[in-house]
């Protein structure tokens, strides 16, 4: 069985030996280097730009300002194109602006023979600003009389839905109602590889872009939109990527490098962001305020959930309103018995633009949702785990958003496994009556997520398989490997269905929109789920063609043949080898009279969306006097369907947990509410946890097989990062009796709350 | 109609504006540069190599000698692999040798940080030789007691065949027998772009080679053989190419760059030959001696042809014996009434290795064949054209090698058209009785050729078509554009069958063995003929899928729909547009519920080989005293089936004619028969004709349509270069009465012959 085994990752040796080639490892003779001139203020009109000194510097090829760029605004969010004109992403971006909207906005760009000269010249560009009032917070941005950051005002969209029943009825039926307001900060992705891209023209009208992107096919389309070029005249190549976490699910540098090469006679032009630029001038995780209410009956039935999200998308819309809406929609899979009312408002502000980040709004929403669930359980005196088990989705439930009974649902099993693993019941008793400054607490939080974007967006994936001369198989997939292991998982699937060894599948990891089967890219934890049908069908097709060639070669009826372990055998008799696949492959290529290269290609749309589930259990100690938190034990339990590659799955969970802990306890981009200045846009002052900050991470999976996937798998990319925040918050409450409804729960924040509560 | 029109070539704008990206236009950070140490003698054993001074030079990374390379010999000829163990190319090459076999052989290689350092270091490598006797000519190499250039002796192969009847019977029936011995020199390809390649590893066992090659898929296989690596672990990328003419139908640099990167931790290593290296140390056109006899009946029927070829393949076999045998085999299509006996011997010598060059042995063979045909016509007093017309192949003839009656054969029409065009009959009379040192003469020579290599080799080609979002189509083909225009011709075919405009077909010109449909490459004038079925079938398939999606969209029965000019219409009613292809394309990609990316792929084997024909007519003036030749008029007339792109076809013919004239009158690589030293391995001393040396070139095509091709086309890549030599030789004879059976017919050669004939 190729699926379910922890095979050697396709990319692991290249990565650990440093052989992997990233975008920056490709170059071209005569390549020019570009450097942005970024605004030194957060909100202003550009009154004048003096480029003379920059242009006079030897080695400078050109300086462009807003006056030189196309005047057509374009969207940047990495969503597939929609046939519905009302379902397009917000187009609010120009390549360069004369209305700067955050501290670091792109005012001009310098192109020079080398990066150092470009950087020097960028500093020589003098920009004159007419400053405008600054709105940093949601309150400021949505206040009456706030300055318009974009034409049409600061609110991008405000929408709501109700699901699961009549909300007012449920509200009436609730006997206890609890509520809270929860806030989350601006978080940065901090992927290892900075954004970089270069472009050149290989014809007067054929443009090539090499980029560290999660979404090569979408990138192609957006560059076409930005530059008003036919999409097929643009070619996007994606080499290996050093991480993205959603920050490369946005089209950030590509329209600019494309523009520059068209302006510079097709010469290759490269843009590589420095770490500090990348932290503030790409995308961030939305800072949100979640106001949550929950109503329960006396016997512990969750009657309703009322969730309202204010989402601060910053200077540009990027993924904008999709973020809270997607999270809201996926959250409804968790407690389907409750009637849910969900509303969200997304607004602009003079802070860096927020976009997609791992779990796409869910860490923020579940911080509020699982906070108020904890509130409800405690309010009615039920155990936190019992309450969740009582109300969680079960197999057979009608899930209001996926609307389908056919999915695997193992939320309850996750909670039970987590409870047992952390010895919840015994420890609960042990920690019941503590004294002194060191207090232990237990916390739990659940989450639900989706597998892909259907029905919000089209779900399409492609796979092409080629039988090589030695009987191995090349696999081209539109799905993009960004470090998450998709190449490996999809190779396992192909091997499984085809009947060859995992090692016999060679994955063409680089995507090239000229030749790679279409797939919008890596996001929404979609790839193994949505690509699985394409891989499975392509493998079936290839196998059928292989057996047909065997019939040509041997005269044996293909209907009686099968392919197992790289050999064509008589069906049902694996010992009876008809011909080795390598011999058949050579024949198919080189026999003068029969056959041909054997390939198979499938483009498949997915019209289901399997809900995935899980939870975090944490046992921690609060030092009340020092206002610190020490995690003694933390475990994530997941229902991700069939686990394709256990070791990668565990790695995926560990990475997500570290991110979630970072968000809960450490990370926040600090912006001055008065000036919009960014205080800590660097990795010295912006604190991501390092290995000394992260406790031992435990993970577990429950047995589950989703019938809508040929291999039973569901999403696992993003979910591991969702539930640490509320679990830790709930554990701190458990330990100290203090509810902290804001993250990160740094010593400074704990101090404020402990002080207010009279603990210190 | 897309086919038959001179559309704007796909690559023309990029090429004339300098935007085309060739292999040398790609680079990588940290790329190392390699430089060969070449032997200063023509035949020797290497007794010692002192690399210390080279290694001591700053910037030198490594020096490798024969002691460091794999000991397994490999072949280099660009032929597809054969399933028949007796039909493999000769494996006689090591990456570096300690037995140098020509002046310039590869003894060691230096790798350095930059090319200048590598070149300096290469000069510091001291090699000690034990010199061996040198054989340059066929006589010397085949003489008894000649030193063995390779183990097993100097004769590679000696074979013969008879066809068309019983030779001894035909010999008896002949009433007049003529004969002659004809010799041809070593000719160089002189393509614009020198050989260059670079390689790197993107994994511990995955090797990428970027090369200026005509044969990426074969290159992959041969590198695998040379380095004993599984073929699919090697990836060969072919960017645009600046010409090859067969010299890049050999695997010259790729095994070495591949070897070097494996030895240097996967770092990118580049090899770029200088012009002088490329001229002597890649491949050449075989110098041959053709002994030809012809027997005719009194009424002008050619009864037999007896052809014997001695082919000097130089230091290494490369394409070796295939060259004379392929030419012999294709020549049998010309005069099928004659019984033909053909024999050939190929031998090694201490001169640069000969390989494939445009028309692959035919220019040499036809110099003898059409020389002796002229002899026969004159001997029996028949007009040269009349004699050829009488004996040429006609439709319905059984062609002994293709064995097929179903082909188009328009040789007679070519001769008639040429005769008329050059006003043969009138001028013949006018030139009949000339006096003085300036003498006009008329010459004619015919040729036959094949379309591809079947049945000698497998003929396989692939095409993948992708419907883009805007209704245009991306086409991937294994066929390699090397300047000959195949991308354009194949795009025309796809447009024709699919029912879209030519401009709507985007050709992915770059081949990449990881993703490009399999095709052995550009040679044997095969590509438009052999790829046509794959393109046609893929286009039919794509069209069918497009119409099926239209049915999904509109409910209209696909059987009643057709695609014309980019619109889906009701069959038979082009005015009734059901939906535009661009709208259908967007729907197929982005509709959430139906469809998918629409692609089609076909790998097709060709089991026919259409004979193509043509002739050269020339009207020239010989200045007997000055021993010079001035061509007043020269025309090539071709039967190449349906002409896909008239302007490209004309360009192809003009280029071939210039090459043929160069071979006839100017070009020869001079090697000292004593020492093996090369005298003129540079473009100053090796004389290729320039525009001032070449007269106005005329070309014409006869109306012909080969039924074995879906578009009626036959070969036209190489044939234009075949018949200038014999036509000019025959015209000089006509003018002066002197038969010159050697080329190039330089003033020096003419002097020798005119002197011997008593003209001067």
Q: Cβ–Cβ contacts within 10 Å for residue B594, how many?
A: 12
Nearest-10 Cα torsion for B625, B629, B633, B636: 150
B 68-87 → A contacts, CB under 8 A: 80-83
Which tens digits make up the pLDDT trace of B468-521?
Answer: 999 999 999 999 999 999 999 999 999 999 999 999 999 999 999 999 999 999
Let me know if B542 is exposed, middle or buried by CB neighbors in 10 A (0-12, 13-18, 19+): buried
What pTM does this model have? 0.97
On the question of pLDDT at A202 being above 90, the answer is no
Distances from the Cα of A167 to the Cαs of A300, A337, A339, A365, B335, in angstroms?
A: 18, 12, 6, 19, 93
Q: Does the distance separating the beta carbons of A24 and B462 come in below 8 Å?
A: no
- Give the separation between CA B248 and CA B283, rounded to whole angstroms: 9
Chain A interface mutation, best of B199, B202, B507, highest count of A Cβ atoms under 10 Å: B202
The C-alpha atoms of residue A98 and residue A69 are separated, in whole angstroms, by 11
DSSP summary character for residue A87: G
Looking at every residue in chain A, the average pLDDT score rounds to 96
- Distance in Å, alpha carbon of A24 to nearest chain B alpha carbon: 8
| pLDDT over 90 at B396, yes or no | no
Q: Among partner residues B204, B589, B593, which is closest to A19 by beta-carbon distance?
A: B204
Residues A114, A117, A122: CA angle, nearest 5 degrees: 120
- For residue A506, the chain B residues in CB contact (below 8 A) are 206, 232-233
Size of interface A-B (CB pairs under 8 A): 186
- Over chain B, what is the mean pLDDT? 96
Any CB–CB contact under 8 A between A204 and chain B?
yes
- β partners of residue A617: A444, A635
Percent of chain B with pLDDT over 70: 99
Q: Is B531 in contact with B490 (CB distance < 8 Å)?
A: yes
Whether B598 and A603 lie within 8 Å, measured CB to CB: yes
d(CA A93, CA A73): 5
**B228-242 pLDDT per residue, tens:** 999 999 999 999 999
**What pLDDT does B314 receive?**
98
A380 touching chain B per CB within 8 A: no
Residue B108 makes CB contacts below 8 A (sequence gap 6+) with: B36, B37, B49, B51, B63, B64, B65, B66, B96, B122, B125, B127
Q: What is the dihedral sign for C-alpha A248, A254, A257, A261?
A: positive
Residues in chain A with CB shorter than 8 Å from the CB of B240 are 202
**Encoded tokens for B646:** 């008239």
Tokens of B98: 């300690």
Determine if the peptide bond prior to A455 is cis (ω within 30°): yes
The Cα-based distances of B639 to B69, B363, B617 in angstroms read 49, 17, 15
Q: CA of B158 to nearest chain A CA: how many angstroms apart? A: 25
Per-residue pLDDT tens digits for A150-170: 999 999 999 999 999 999 999
Residue in chain A lying closest to B267 (CA): A19
For residue A41 the two structure tokens come to 């203020």
Task: Tell me the ipTM for this assembly.
Answer: 0.96
Res. A676 pLDDT band, cuts 50 70 90: very high
Task: Provide the pLDDT confidence category of residue B383 given band limits of 50, 70 and 90.
Answer: very high
Across residues A135-149, what is the average pLDDT? 97
A597 and B82 within 8 Å at the Cβ level: the answer is: no
* CA gap A696, A691 in Å, rounded: 9
Cis peptide before B455 (omega within 30 of 0): yes
pLDDT tens sequence across A388-425: 999 999 988 887 766 667 899 999 999 999 999 999 99
Q: How far is CA B444 from CA A183, B333, B363, in A?
A: 92, 18, 14
Question: Which stretches does DSSP call E strand in A478-526?
Answer: 505-508, 511-512
In B500-519, the residues whose Cβ lies within 8 Å of chain A are: 506, 508, 512, 514-518
Please report the pLDDT score of residue B205 as a whole number. 81
Cβ pair A356, A78 in contact under 8 A:
yes
Q: Is A436 left (phi over 0), alpha (psi -120 to 50) or beta?
A: left
Q: Sort out which chain B residues have CB atoms less than 8 A from A11's CB and list them.
A: 203
Q: What is the pLDDT of residues B47-79, one digit of tens each?
A: 999 999 999 999 999 999 999 999 999 999 999
If we measure between CA atoms, which residue out of A206, A31, A278 comes closest to residue B31? A31
Quote the minimal CA–CA distance from A523 to chain B in Å.
Answer: 17
pLDDT for A86 equals: 86
Per residue in A72-109, pLDDT tens?
Answer: 999 999 999 999 988 889 999 999 999 999 999 999 99
For chain B, give the number of residues. Answer: 760
Stated length of chain A: 760
B267 with B30: CB under 8 angstroms?
yes
- Please name the member of B205, B458, B518 whose beta carbon is closest to the beta carbon of A591: B458
HEC secondary structure over B363-385: HHHHHHHHHHHHHHHHHCCCCHH
Tell me the Cα Rg of chain A. 27
Scanning B401-524, the segments in alpha helix (DSSP H) are: 411-421, 424-430, 486-498
**Residues of A whose CB is below 8 A from B25:** 28-29
Contact B317, B92 (CB under 8 A): yes
> And the tokens for A178?
């609890």
Question: pLDDT band for position B86 (50/70/90)?
Answer: confident
Per-residue pLDDT averaged across A237-247, rounded? 96
User: Which residues in chain A (217-276) have CB-CB distances under 8 A to chain B?
Assistant: 221, 230-233, 240, 266
Beta-strand runs (E) in A419-537: 438-449, 460-467, 473-477, 505-508, 511-512
Cα–Cα distance measured from residue A393 to residue A412, given in angstroms and rounded to the nearest whole number = 8
Closest in A19, A29, A240 to B27, CB measured? A29
- The pLDDT value given to residue A701: 98
Strand order in the sheet with B339-348: B155-163, B339-348, B302-314, B287-296, B176-183
Query: Which of the residue ranges A446-460, A647-661, A728-742, B403-417 would you say has the lowest mean pLDDT?
Result: B403-417
* Interface probe, candidates A8, A18, A19, chain B, greatest B C-beta count within 10 A: A19
CA atoms within 13 A on the CB side of B145: 0
Interchain contact, B472 vs A230, CB within 8 Å: yes
Residues of A in contact with B552 (CB under 8 A): none
pLDDT, position B204:
74
What pairs with residue B476 in β-bridges? B464, B508
Distance CA B719, CA B359 (A): 6
**CA gap A728, A445 in Å, rounded:** 8
Of B83, B200, B515, the CB nearest to A587: B83
Do A460 and B80 count as a contact with CB atoms less than 8 A apart? no
pLDDT in tens, A318-358: 999 999 999 999 999 999 999 999 999 999 999 999 999 99
Q: Kindly give, in sequence order, each residue whose CB lies less than 8 Å from that of residue A101, ignoring residues fewer than 6 positions away.
A: A42, A43, A149, A150, A315, A316, A348, A350
CA dihedral A395, A400, A401, A406 (to 10 degrees): 30
pLDDT at B292 exceeding the cut of 90: yes
Please tell me the distance in Å from A64's CA to the nearest CA on chain B. Answer: 23
Q: Which of A21, A266, A474 sits opposite B514 (nearest CB)?
A: A474
Say yes or no for a CB contact (<8 Å) between B586 and A468.
no
pLDDT at A401: 67
Query: What sign does the dihedral B670-B674-B678-B680 (CA atoms) show?
Result: negative
Q: Is A463 left (phi over 0), alpha (psi -120 to 50) or beta?
A: beta
Q: Cα dist. B736→B77, B509, B740 in Å?
A: 42, 50, 10
Partner residue opposite A19 with nearest CB, options B27, B202, B476: B202
B89 touches chain A (CB under 8 A): no
- Asked if A334 reaches chain B (Cβ–Cβ under 8 Å), the answer is no
Number of CB atoms found within 10 A of residue A50's CB: 12
**B452 neighbourhood in chain A, CB within 8 Å:** none
Whose tokens are 């035919």? That residue is B362
What is the pLDDT, as a whole number, of residue B610?
95
Q: How far is B466 from chain A (nearest CA, A)?
A: 8
**How high is the pLDDT of residue A402?**
66
B79, B80, B477, B515: best to mutate for the A interface, most A CBs within 10 A: B515
Tokens encoding A46: 């550009």
The whole-number pLDDT of residue B231 equals 95
Greatest alpha-carbon span in chain B: 89
Spell out which residues of chain A touch residue B506, defining contact as CB-CB under 8 Å: 206, 232-233
Which region among A302-311, A405-414, B610-619 has the lowest average model confidence (pLDDT)? A405-414
List the beta bridge partners of residue B343: B160, B308
Read off the tokens for A53: 């000194």
pLDDT at residue A311, rounded to an integer:
98
C-alpha to C-alpha distance for B263 and B259, rounded to whole angstroms: 6
For A457, name the nearest residue in chain B, comparing CA atoms only.
Answer: B592
> Residue A505: pLDDT band by 50, 70, 90 thresholds?
very high
> Which residues in chain A are closer than 8 Å to B521, comparing Cβ atoms?
none
Measuring CA to CA, which residue among A304, A283, A285 is closest to residue A294? A304
Q: State the Cα–Cα distance between residues A114 and B62, nearest whole angstrom.
A: 29
Residue among A529, A534, A517, A522 nearest A481 (CA) = A522
Contact assessment for residue B254 and residue B222, using Cβ atoms and an 8 Å cutoff: yes
Structure-block tokens of residue A185:
């900060």
Distance from CA of A399 to the nearest CA of B (A): 20
CB neighbours of A255 closer than 8 A, spacing ≥ 6?
A: A74, A95, A222, A223, A226, A227
Task: Please report which residue ranges of B596-673 form alpha helices under DSSP H.
Answer: 646-665
Cα dihedral B367, B371, B372, B374 in deg (nearest 10): 150
Which chain B residues touch A604 with a CB distance below 8 Å? Answer: 596
Residue A494 backbone phi and psi in degrees, to 5: -60, -45
Chain B: closest CA distance from residue A587 (Å) = 7
Chain B interface includes A468 (CB < 8 A)? yes
Q: Beta strands A269-272 and A155-163: pairing type?
A: unpaired
Q: Can you tell me the distance from the alpha carbon of A586 to that of A469, in angstroms, rounded to the nearest whole number? A: 5
Which percentage of chain A shows pLDDT scores above 70?
Answer: 99
pLDDT-derived band at A574, boundaries 50, 70, 90: confident
């Amino acid at each position: 069985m190729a699926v379910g085994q922890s095979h050697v990752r396709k990319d692991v040796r290249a990565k650990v030996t440093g052989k992997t080639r990233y975008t920056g490892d490709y170059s071209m003779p005569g390549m020019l280097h570009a450097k942005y001139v970024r605004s030194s203020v957060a909100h202003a009109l550009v009154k004048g730009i003096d480029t003379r000194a920059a242009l006079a510097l030897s080695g400078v090829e050109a300086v462009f300002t807003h006056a030189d760029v196309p005047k057509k605004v374009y969207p940047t969010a990495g969503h597939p194109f929609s046939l519905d004109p009302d379902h397009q992403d917000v187009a609010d971006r120009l390549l360069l602006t004369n209305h700067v909207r955050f501290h670091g906005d792109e005012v001009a760009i310098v192109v020079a023979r080398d990066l150092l000269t470009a950087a020097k010249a960028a500093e020589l560009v003098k920009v004159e600003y007419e400053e405008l009032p600054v709105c940093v917070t949601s309150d400021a941005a949505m206040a009456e009389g706030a300055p318009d950051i974009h034409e049409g005002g600061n609110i991008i969209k405000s929408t709501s839905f109700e699901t699961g029943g009549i909300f007012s009825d449920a509200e009436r039926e609730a006997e206890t109602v609890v509520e809270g307001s929860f806030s989350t900060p601006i978080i940065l992705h901090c992927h290892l590889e900075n954004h970089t891209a270069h472009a050149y023209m290989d014809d007067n009208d054929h443009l090539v872009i090499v980029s560290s992107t999660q979404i090569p096919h979408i990138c192609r389309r957006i560059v076409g939109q930005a530059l008003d070029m036919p999409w097929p005249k643009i070619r996007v190549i994606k080499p290996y990527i050093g991480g993205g976490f959603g920050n490369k699910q946005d089209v950030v540098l590509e329209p600019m490098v494309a523009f520059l090469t068209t302006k510079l006679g097709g010469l290759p032009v490269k843009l590589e962001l420095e770490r500090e630029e990348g932290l503030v001038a790409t995308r961030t995780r939305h800072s949100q305020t979640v106001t949550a209410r929950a109503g329960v009956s006396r016997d512990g039935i969750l009657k309703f959930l009322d969730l309202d999200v204010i989402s601060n998308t910053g200077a540009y819309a990027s993924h904008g309103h999709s973020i809270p809406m997607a999270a809201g929609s996926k959250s409804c899979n968790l407690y389907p018995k409750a009637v849910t009312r969900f509303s969200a408002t997304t607004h602009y502000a003079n802070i860096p633009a927020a976009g997609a980040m791992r779990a796409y709004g869910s860490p923020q929403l579940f911080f509020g949702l699982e906070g108020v669930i904890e509130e409800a359980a405690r309010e009615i005196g039920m155990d936190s785990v019992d309450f969740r088990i009582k109300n969680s989705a079960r197999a057979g439930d009608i899930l209001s958003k996926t609307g389908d009974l056919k999915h695997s649902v193992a939320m309850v099993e996750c909670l039970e496994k987590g409870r047992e693993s952390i010895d919840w019941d015994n420890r609960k008793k042990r920690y019941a009556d503590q004294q002194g400054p060191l207090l232990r607490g237990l916390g739990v939080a659940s989450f639900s997520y989706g597998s892909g974007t259907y029905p919000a967006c089209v779900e399409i994936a492609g796979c092409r398989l080629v039988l090589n001369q030695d009987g191995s198989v090349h696999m081209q997939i539109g799905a993009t490997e960004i470090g998450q292991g998709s190449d490996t998982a999809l190779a396992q699937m192909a091997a499984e269905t085809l009947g060859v060894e995992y090692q016999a599948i060679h994955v063409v990891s680089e995507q090239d929109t000229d030749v790679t089967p279409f797939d919008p890219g890596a996001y929404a934890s979609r790839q193994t789920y949505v690509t699985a049908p394409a891989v499975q069908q392509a493998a079936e097709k290839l196998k059928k063609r292989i057996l047909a060639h065997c019939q040509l070669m041997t005269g044996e009826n293909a209907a009686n043949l099968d392919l197992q372990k790289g050999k064509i055998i008589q069906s049902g008799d694996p010992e009876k080898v008809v011909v080795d696949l390598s011999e058949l492959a050579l024949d198919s290529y080189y026999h003068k009279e029969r056959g041909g290269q054997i390939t198979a290609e499938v483009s498949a749309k997915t019209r289901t969306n399997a809900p995935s589930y899980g939870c975090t259990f944490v046992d921690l100690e609060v030092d009340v006097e020092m206002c610190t938190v020490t995690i003694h034990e933390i475990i994530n339990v997941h229902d991700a369907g069939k686990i394709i590659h256990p070791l990668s799955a565990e790695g995926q969970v560990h990475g997500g947990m570290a991110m979630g802990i970072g968000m809960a306890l450490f990370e926040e981009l600090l912006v001055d509410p008065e000036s919009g200045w960014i205080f800590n846009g660097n990795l010295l002052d912006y604190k991501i946890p390092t290995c000394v900050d992260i406790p031992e991470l435990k993970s577990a999976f429950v047995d589950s097989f989703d019938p809508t996937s040929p291999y039973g798998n569901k999403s696992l990319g993003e979910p591991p990062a969702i539930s640490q925040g509320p679990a830790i918050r709930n554990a701190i409450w458990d330990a100290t009796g203090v509810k902290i409804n804001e993250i990160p729960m740094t010593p400074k924040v704990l101090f404020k709350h402990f002080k207010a509560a009279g603990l210190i």
